[in-house]
Each structure stands twice: as C-alpha cells, then as structure tokens.
Amino acid sequence: MFEAQHDDVEALMKKDAEFRRLYQHHRELDSKVHDAEIGVLPIDEGTLASMKREKLQAKARLERMWEGRRQFG
C-alpha cells in the first residue's frame, strides 16, 4: 500500500504518530495473513478471517488519513 509514494509516506510517518502506528500495524497484519494463507503460520479460519477484517479496517483508515493529508496539508 502506498508503494508509489514511499517518500511521502515516510515523511507522514515522521509527522503523524497515529499514521505510523496504524501503517506498521497494517504491514504486520498483512505479513501474518500472507504467512497463514501460504501455510507457514498455522492459524484457524476464524482467526484468519478476523485478521483480514482488521487489516481492511486499518487500510480504510490509512486511506482516509492519507486523503485528509492531501486535502489539508
């Protein structure tokens, strides 16, 4: 996520602790979900589904924060 805007993301993470925390949390969830899907991380389907929902919620929040930054900042 935001791969094309790497420098801008880095700058925003330095300025906004909440964005940084949420971005890092999303990346952690993304890694765990990926590992679970390829079988490296043994996890039950309910937990995996919950992690996917949480990851999507984090992504949506990050996108709102990103758009807010672009509009107001």
pTM: 0.84
* Res. 71 pLDDT band, cuts 50 70 90: low
Domain that holds residue 38: 3-72
pLDDT in tens, 13-30: 999 999 999 999 999 999
| Euclidean distance between CA atoms 9 and 66, whole angstroms | 9
* Res. 70 pLDDT band, cuts 50 70 90: low
| Euclidean distance between CA atoms 49 and 55, whole angstroms | 10
Number of domains observed in the structure of the chain: 1
